Amino acid sequence: MEKKLSEMDFDEEGTVKEIEETLRKQVAGMGIREGKNIRMATKQPIKGPVVVEVDESLTSLGLGVAKKIVVEVG
């Protein structure tokens, strides 16, 4: 099933399916790219940022940024 990164549950894992074009280059250097395994490490309440884990590195993304990433889960 596909969903936005922003909709993933806490501790859920998935594979990055698609990243919006403008964002792709920005997050590529941090190791976030299509085909990568991604885990939702934490979600802050009331529309706060998410923290995701890719290749053992934690990255914090604003919720609006997370909406631009589609993940295949389950």
Partner 1 sequence: MLKVPLSVDERWNLIEKISKQTVEFGARKHTLKDAIAELTVKPLTGIPVAIAVLYGFWSFFIDFAGTLFTDGFMVRLFDEHWLPWLQSVFPGGLGNPFYALLVDAGHMENGVLVASDNCLESFGVLTSGFFVPFGVVLWAVLAFYLMFALLEDVGYLPRLAVLVDTVLHKIGLHGYAIVPTFLALGCNVPGVTATRPLETRKQRFMMITLLSVFVPCGAQIGIMQDLVPELMGWIFLTLVIGYLGFGFILNKIVAGKSPEIIMDVPPYRMPMLKNIVSKLWIRTSRFLLVAVPFVLLGCLIVGLMYLTGAMDWLATVLGPFLMSWFGVPGETVAPLIAGFLRKDLAVGMLGGLMEQGIMTTFQVFTSVVLLCIYFPCLATFALMLKEENWKEFLGSIASLIAMVLVYGGLIHLVGIMLGVA
Partner 2 sequence: MGHPNVGKSVFFNRLTGAKVLESNYPGTTVDFTKGWMRFGGEDVELIDVPGAFSLEPKDRAEEVAVKILEENRDSVVICVLDASKVERGLYLALEIIERGYPVVVALNMWDVAEDKNIRIDAEKLERILGVPVVPTIAISGEGFKELVSKIKEAAPVKIEKIIENAGGVESAAVSG
Among 51, 70, 72, 73, binds partner 1 (CB under 8 A): 51
Decide: is 70 part of the binding site for partner 1 (CB under 8 A).
no
Which residues in 38-57 contact partner 2 (CB under 8 A)?
55-57
DSSP the chain: -EEEGGGPPTT-EEEEEEE-HHHHHHHHTTT--TT-EEEEEEE-TTT--EEEEETTEEEEE-HHHHTTEEEEE-
Asked if 26 is part of the footprint of partner 2 (rule: CB under 8 A), the reply reads yes
Instruction: Out of 11, 20, 31, 62, point to the residue binding partner 2 (CB under 8 A).
Output: 31
